[in-house]
């Protein structure tokens, strides 16, 4: 039994005036907001990979975060010890969900059969741990990017053997996710993209990816998995041109392969930034297209062009994101996964707890702010006012396709239409937002 986090007591809600470093000041799981408990809106999840498997190495330096389970001669023993520590961490944080890749929970074997055997044994082990824990599975996924066999892609690899190997892996990961009662299954196209068109048949690769996803959807129905299938967009890193660039690009892909009613999106804050968008833009886009699924909450560094995966700490940015979540109808079966890692100098077990506690509180506070903005209705009213002209019968007729281009031209000229510019009132609304934040 790992005693790694067991010294730490469970973090509790103590309110805003608490002096305790490890306490929730804003996250009161039971607090009723917009008709349901805060925990049901937010559905926080701990990411197994960043919290238990990340070792602090970077392109310039060796691992700095060396946990006991990382150095065991018997890899399966290490995996069980890691799982023990994981469930201790879930207990300390008191959060309702976790997420994992196959490779986070079980070591690679000598061949695919052995890898799957290791994985299935660890899934059984997690199932037992879950019996004694409140933690549920938000989503499972497959790591189809770390091993060199995936260097030219998984589903989009020029080698059909890699496609088949990846499909086999995903089948077993979907089985495991179903077995553990997961609410979603995620596919992040780790190396689904290309470096140069000199060696790439892009149309062929996209057809491969469409086929792969179709197989996943068919299998979901076959086994009666009731969770959502989610694609996680990301524009770059590792490849120069990732196929799942952003929400709009993925939607176009889903449409092309007839999957837009079967698959939703897992949106990540840092990926939005890399795509030149804000998180709220990505959320609003997905909601508008009917594919808002779940969130990976983290933050990037605007000064760095890669996925730094820091824990979120910008109240205004998170408030705007969660405001769009509420307007979009909420996260449903999705949740908020902390796809975030501590810095490589944060080597203490407690650093991981501080990181989550701060991020949980930040998100809860942002959600309370966003809910208050929705309840006050001022922003919504300002937007409605701006589009009020479209409520007239003539404007509606234009939008509903009842008027041809010639008819619009005729009436416009007959009426002597002469539009007057109107202020967008951006600064007024920004001030309103700043005034309302608490």
Q: Kindly list the residues in this chain that would bind Ni ion in the complex (CB under 5 A).
A: 268, 296, 307, 339
Tell me the CB-side half-sphere exposure of residue 205, using CA atoms within 13 A: 21
> Would you count residue 192 as binding ligand XLS (CB under 6 A)?
no
With helix as H, strand as E and coil as C, how does 241-273 read? Answer: EECCCCHHHHHHHHHHCCCCCCEEEEEEHHHHH
> Would you count residue 104 as binding ligand XLS (CB under 6 A)?
no
Contact of residue 141 among Ni ion, ligand XLS, none (CB under 5-8 Å per partner type): ligand XLS
> Would you count residue 246 as binding ligand XLS (CB under 6 A)?
no
Q: What is the smallest separation between the CB atom of 298 and Ni ion, expressed in angstroms?
A: 7
Q: Report the C-alpha gap between 275 and 322 in whole angstroms.
A: 19
> Would you count residue 51 as binding ligand XLS (CB under 6 A)?
no
Q: Under a CB-based contact definition with an 8 Å cutoff, are residues 264 and 229 in contact?
A: yes
List of residues 6+ apart from 231 with CB closer than 8 A: 186, 187, 188, 189, 213, 244, 250, 254, 263, 264, 265, 266
Residue closer to ligand XLS, measured from CB, 2 or 56 = 56
Does 111 qualify as catalytic in the annotation?
no
> Would you count residue 299 as binding ligand XLS (CB under 6 A)?
no
> Would you count residue 205 as binding ligand XLS (CB under 6 A)?
no
Q: Report the C-alpha gap between 134 and 132 in whole angstroms.
A: 7
Q: Report the C-alpha gap between 330 and 348 in whole angstroms.
A: 35
Q: Under a CB-based contact definition with an 8 Å cutoff, are residues 244 and 287 in contact?
A: no
Interface pick for ligand XLS out of 39, 115, 118, 141 (rule CB under 6 A): 141
Interface pick for ligand XLS out of 84, 88, 232, 246 (rule CB under 6 A): 232
Q: What is the smallest separation between the CB atom of 80 and Ni ion, expressed in angstroms?
A: 26
Does 84 qualify as catalytic in the annotation?
no
Strands 193-194 and 292-296: unpaired
The catalytic position among 104, 244, 296, 361 is: 104
> Would you count residue 102 as binding ligand XLS (CB under 6 A)?
no
Q: What is the smallest separation between the CB atom of 145 and ligand XLS, expressed in angstroms?
A: 8
Q: What share of the chain is helix, strand, coil (3-state, %, to 5)?
A: 50, 10, 40
Contact of residue 246 among ligand XLS, Ni ion, none (CB under 5-8 Å per partner type): none
Q: Report the C-alpha gap between 268 and 189 in whole angstroms.
A: 13
Q: Report the C-alpha gap between 243 and 406 in whole angstroms.
A: 41
Strand spans (E) along 106-217: 136-141, 184-188, 193-194
CA distances from 249 to 11, 252, 255, 256 (A): 40, 5, 10, 11
Chain residue whose CB lies nearest ligand XLS: 188
Count of all residues that appear for the chain in the document? 438
Q: What is the smallest separation between the CB atom of 50 and ligand XLS, expressed in angstroms?
A: 8
Q: Under a CB-based contact definition with an 8 Å cutoff, are residues 153 and 191 in contact?
A: yes
List of residues 6+ apart from 299 with CB closer than 8 A: 269, 270, 273, 308, 310, 311, 312, 313, 314, 317, 340
Residue closer to ligand XLS, measured from CB, 119 or 188 = 188
Interface pick for ligand XLS out of 80, 234, 356, 365 (rule CB under 6 A): 234
Question: Per-residue string for binding with ligand XLS, 308-347, x by CB under 6 A?
Answer: -------------------------------x--------
Contact of residue 262 among Ni ion, ligand XLS, none (CB under 5-8 Å per partner type): none
Residue closer to Ni ion, measured from CB, 336 or 371 = 336
Q: Under a CB-based contact definition with an 8 Å cutoff, are residues 257 and 218 in contact?
A: no
> Would you count residue 178 as binding ligand XLS (CB under 6 A)?
no
Task: Render the burial of 69-79: b for 16+ CB within 10 Å, e for the rest.
Answer: beeeeeebebb
> Would you count residue 84 as binding ligand XLS (CB under 6 A)?
no
Q: What is the smallest separation between the CB atom of 231 and Ni ion, expressed in angstroms?
A: 11
The catalytic position among 41, 50, 101, 281 is: 101
Residue closer to Ni ion, measured from CB, 116 or 283 = 283
Q: What is the smallest separation between the CB atom of 145 and Ni ion, expressed in angstroms?
A: 11
- 292 — phi, psi (to 5°)? -75, 120
Q: What is the smallest separation between the CB atom of 294 and ligand XLS, expressed in angstroms?
A: 10
Residue 269's closest CA among 236, 305, 317, 327?
317
Q: What is the smallest separation between the CB atom of 146 and ligand XLS, expressed in angstroms?
A: 10
Residues that bind ligand XLS (CB under 6 A): 101, 141, 188, 232, 234, 268, 296, 307, 339
Active site residues: 101, 104
């Amino acid at each position: 039994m790992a005693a790694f986090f067991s010294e730490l007591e469970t973090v509790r809600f103590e309110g805003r005036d608490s002096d305790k470093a490890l306490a929730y000041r804003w996250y009161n799981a039971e607090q009723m907001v917009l008709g349901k408990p805060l925990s049901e809106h937010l559905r926080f999840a701990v990411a197994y990979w960043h919290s238990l498997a990340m070792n602090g190495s970077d392109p310039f330096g060796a691992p700095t975060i060396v946990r006991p389970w990382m150095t065991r001669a018997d890899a399966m023993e290490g995996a069980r010890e890691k799982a023990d520590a994981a469930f201790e961490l879930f207990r300390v944080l008191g959060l309702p969900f976790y997420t994992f890749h196959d490779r986070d929970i079980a070591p690679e074997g000598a061949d695919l059969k052995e890898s799957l055997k290791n994985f299935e044994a660890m899934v059984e082990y997690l199932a037992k741990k879950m019996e004694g824990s409140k933690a549920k599975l938000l989503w499972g996924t497959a790591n189809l990017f770390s091993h060199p066999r995936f260097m030219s892609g998984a589903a989009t690899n020029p080698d059909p053997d890699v496609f088949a190997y990846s499909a086999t892996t995903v089948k077993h990961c979907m089985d495991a996710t179903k077995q553990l009662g997961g609410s979603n299954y995620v596919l992040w196209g780790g190396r689904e993209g290309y470096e140069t068109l000199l060696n790439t048949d892009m149309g062929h690769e996209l057809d491969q990816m469409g086929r792969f996803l179709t197989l996943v959807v068919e299998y979901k129905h076959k086994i009666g998995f009731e969770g959502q299938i989610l694609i996680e967009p990301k524009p770059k890193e590792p490849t120069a041109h990732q196929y799942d660039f952003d929400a709009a690009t993925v939607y176009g892909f889903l449409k092309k392969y007839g999957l837009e009613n079967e698959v939703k999106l897992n949106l990540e804050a840092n990926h939005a930034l890399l795509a030149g968008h804000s998180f709220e833009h990505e959320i609003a886009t997905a909601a508008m297209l009917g594919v808002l699924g779940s969130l990976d909450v983290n933050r990037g560094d605007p000064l760095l062009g890669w996925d730094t995966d820091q824990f979120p700490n910008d109240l205004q940015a998170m408030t705007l994101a969660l405001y769009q979540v509420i307007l979009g109808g909420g996260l449903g079966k999705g949740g908020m996964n902390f796809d975030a890692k501590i810095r490589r100098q944060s080597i203490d077990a407690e650093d991981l707890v501080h990181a989550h506690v701060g991020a949980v509180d930040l998100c809860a506070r942002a959600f309370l702010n966003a809910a208050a903005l929705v309840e006050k209705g001022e922003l919504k009213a300002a937007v409605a006012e701006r589009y009020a002209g479209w409520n007239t019968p003539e404007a509606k007729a234009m939008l509903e396709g009842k008027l041809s281009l010639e008819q619009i031209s005729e009436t416009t000229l007959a009426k002597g239409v002469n539009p007057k510019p109107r202020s967008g009132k951006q600064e007024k609304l920004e001030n309103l937002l700043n005034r309302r934040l608490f």
